[in-house]
A and B are shown apart, each in its own frame.
Chain A
Amino acid sequence: MRREPVLRVVGKLLIPYMLVFALYVQFHGDFGPGGGFQAGVIAAAAVIFYGLIYGLPAARRLLPDAVVESMVAAGALLYLGVGFAGLLLGGNFLDYFVLDRDPVAGQHRGIFWIELGVLITVAGVMLKIFYMFAGRGREG
Chain B
Amino acid sequence: MDAFASHYTYWVTVLLMAAGLYIMIARGNLVKKLIGLSIFQTSVYLLYIAPGKLIGGTAPIVSGAFKVYANPLPHVLILTAIVVGIATLALGLAIVVRIREAYGSIEEDEIVAADARDADRA
Contacts and interface: CB of A to CB of B under 8 A. Distances in A.
Interface of A: 31-32, 35, 37, 126, 129, 132-133, 136-137
Contact of B59 (A32, A126, A129): A32
Contact of A133 (B59, B83, B97): B97
Nearest to A31: B59
B93 A133 contact: yes
Contact of A31 (B61, B82, B83): B61
B97 A136 contact: yes
B26 interface: no
Interface in B75-102: 79, 82-83, 86, 90, 93-94, 97, 101
Contacts, number: 15
Interface of B: 59, 61, 79, 82-83, 86, 90, 93-94, 97, 101
Nearest to A136: B97
B83 A37 contact: yes
A84 to B, nearest CB: 23
Contact of B82 (A37, A132, A136): A37
15 contacts: A31-B59, A31-B61, A32-B59, A35-B79, A37-B79, A37-B82, A37-B83, A126-B86, A129-B90, A132-B94, A133-B93, A133-B94, A133-B97, A136-B97, A137-B101
Contacts of A137: 101
A35 B94 CA distance: 28
A96 to B, nearest CB: 15
Contacts of B97: 133, 136
Contacts of A37: 79, 82-83
Contacts of B86: 126
A133 B94 CA distance: 8
